[in-house]
């Protein structure tokens, strides 16, 4: 008979949902363990929940580490929720990412014979991000050791933080000095901005999610992967021209030619999303440019752009390889965003139609096509859920031989899947950042044997995290 707070020992055999790991006791009882654990760890854990078929426990000690366990490079690991897998070596990360996709296809989608390839690795596993969002909070997340000290003895103030939210703590942030996924220049911007804001706290109080007063909200830094252009975007409640110009000068003096543009975005929203309603350009042009493959993209403060430039190029090239496009093909690119995949496909087919719901993204996509002098791309602002109202526009463009779909993490709306089944193109390439929604949507596509899943290729765009991208090829039966 098990009791709450009872200590148990077991060997971790697999990952589980909700950032838990899984193992079995000697009597066969299943246990889900919370904590920073690697597959193969021999652990001690404390039972916190007892169910008929399983137990939930909290890690208390790693008794014997797995061979794949390594020392994390980041001093914030375990507190900051960004890099959950820094304690595992990179080959193990790749193995687990492939297993995530394979398991979802088997257990959720029912694809028991699919060929799920090994995960394509990243060349750079640190300092690969071209965009980082830092949050300001007026409550700093304190370690247990800091909580036991008088506030006046601490190195940092308790009412100022610029960094990342601890998991589940939206009112508090960990004050970060260095992020190992960001570039050195981005970390320099982080610390220069903190220095300036601490010096001007009276005029730049931090926005409070409780009182909805204050100024400082977010610091968004973009560092282009190829052009190395650098954008700093400070998101505040109101625009204070003199103060923002002073910050722009402060950054420009310290960074020199490395700083391409500084923007002050303002928002009146009560939520904490790093998205401005108005933009005030204090230095440079207010945007940067970067390349993916042969194509150049203009990146504004609110633009979507893949956050790992080098891996995005590998992802897009693999999409083309999986699609096997022919010069006479008509192609649809669903959820096309700013047209990145659309542009890549344009040089390999007769014509391609990008479909996107967000108006600003469609505008950017058209501008990107024009900038790159591509004439066989068209873009439509359409809602894929409204099947009947968009069918005439699709018919006017022509029936596709290949459809590429890259939906958001939640996957495709049932109506959008139904539209795909009615279009019934010979090939569908499903690009996914969520193995569960890929498996679920794939099963719906394949109902009544309409499509066969012939191949799935995981790609690692986010080393040190549990996120994985994948490309699935469906062929009409």
Task: Tell me the catalytic residues.
Answer: 433
Judge contact between 262 and 249, C-beta under 8 A.
no
Judge contact between 11 and 41, C-beta under 8 A.
yes
Residue 3 tokens, joined: 């009791």
Determine the Cα–Cα distance for residues 196 and 211; give it in Å rounded to an integer: 24
- C-alpha angle with apex 338: 334 to 341, nearest 5 degrees? 55
- H helices, E strands: number in the chain: 10, 21
- Strand 427-432, strand 402-405: pairing: parallel
Residue 178 tokens, joined: 């260095």
Cα end-to-end distance, the chain, whole Å = 53
- C-alpha angle with apex 299: 294 to 301, nearest 5 degrees? 165
- C-alpha angle with apex 446: 440 to 451, nearest 5 degrees? 140
Residue 440: half-sphere exposure toward Cβ, Cα within 13 Å:
11
Beta bridge partners of 463: none
Determine the Cα–Cα distance for residues 120 and 313; give it in Å rounded to an integer: 12
Q: Which of 271, 417, 410 is nearest to 334 (CA)?
A: 417
Determine the Cα–Cα distance for residues 95 and 98; give it in Å rounded to an integer: 5
Residues 6+ apart with CB under 8 A from 216: 136, 197, 204, 205, 206, 207, 234, 236
Judge contact between 28 and 44, C-beta under 8 A.
no
Judge contact between 301 and 263, C-beta under 8 A.
yes
Q: Write the burial class of residue 360 (CB in 10 Å: 0-12 exposed, 13-18 middle, 19+ buried).
A: middle
SS3 78: coil
Determine the Cα–Cα distance for residues 462 and 308; give it in Å rounded to an integer: 8
Determine the Cα–Cα distance for residues 466 and 477; give it in Å rounded to an integer: 34
């Amino acid at each position: 008979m098990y009791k709450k707070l009872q200590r148990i020992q077991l060997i971790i055999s697999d990952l589980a949902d909700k950032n838990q790991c899984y193992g079995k006791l000697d009597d066969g009882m299943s246990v889900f363990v919370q904590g920073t654990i690697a597959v193969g760890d021999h652990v001690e854990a404390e039972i916190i929940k007892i169910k008929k078929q399983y137990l939930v426990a909290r890690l208390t000690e790693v008794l014997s580490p797995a061979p794949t366990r390594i020392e994390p490079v980041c001093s914030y690991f375990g507190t900051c929720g960004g890099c959950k897998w820094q304690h595992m070596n990179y080959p193990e990360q790749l193995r687990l990412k492939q297993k995530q996709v394979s398991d979802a296809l088997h257990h959720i989608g029912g694809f028991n014979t699919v060929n799920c390839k090994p995960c394509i690795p990243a060349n750079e596993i640190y300092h690969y991000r071209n965009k980082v969002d830092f949050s300001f909070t007026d409550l700093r997340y304190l370690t247990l050791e800091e909580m036991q000290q008088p506030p006046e003895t601490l190195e940092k103030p308790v009412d100022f933080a610029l960094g990342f939210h601890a998991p589940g703590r939206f009112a508090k942030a960990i004050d970060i000095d260095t992020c190992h996924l960001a570039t050195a220049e981005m970390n320099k911007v982080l610390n220069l901005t903190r220095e300036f804001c601490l010096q001007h706290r009276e005029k730049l109080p931090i926005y409070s999610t409780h009182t909805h007063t204050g100024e400082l909200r977010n610091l968004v830094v973009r560092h282009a992967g190829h052009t190395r252009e650098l954008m700093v975007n400070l998101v505040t409640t109101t625009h204070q021209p003199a103060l923002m110009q002073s910050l722009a000068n402060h950054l420009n003096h310290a960074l020199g030619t490395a700083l391409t543009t500084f923007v002050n975005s303002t928002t009146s929203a009560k939520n904490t999303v790093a998205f401005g309603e108005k933009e005030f350009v204090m230095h440079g042009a207010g945007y940067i440019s970067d390349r993916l493959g042969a194509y150049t993209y203009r990146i504004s403060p609110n633009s979507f752009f893949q956050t790992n430039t080098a891996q995005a190029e590998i992802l897009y090239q693999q999409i083309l390889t999986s699609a096997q496009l022919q010069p006479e093909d008509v192609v649809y690119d669903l959820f096309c965003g700013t047209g990145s995949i659309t542009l890549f496909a344009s040089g390999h087919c007769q014509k391609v139609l990008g479909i996107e719901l967000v108006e600003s993204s469609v505008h950017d996509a058209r501008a990107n096509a024009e900038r790159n002098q591509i004439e066989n791309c068209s873009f439509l602002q359409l809602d894929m859920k409204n099947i009947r109202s968009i069918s005439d526009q699709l018919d006017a463009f022509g029936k596709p031989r290949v459809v590429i779909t890259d939906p958001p993490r939640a996957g495709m709306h049932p109506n959008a899947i139904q539209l795909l089944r009615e279009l019934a193109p010979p090939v569908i390439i499903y690009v996914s950042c969520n193995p569960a929604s890929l498996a679920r949507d794939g099963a719906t596509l394949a109902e009544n044997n309409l499509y066969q899943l012939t191949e799935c290729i995981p790609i690692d765009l986010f080393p040190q995290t549990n996120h994985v991208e994948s490309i699935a090829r469906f062929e009409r039966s």
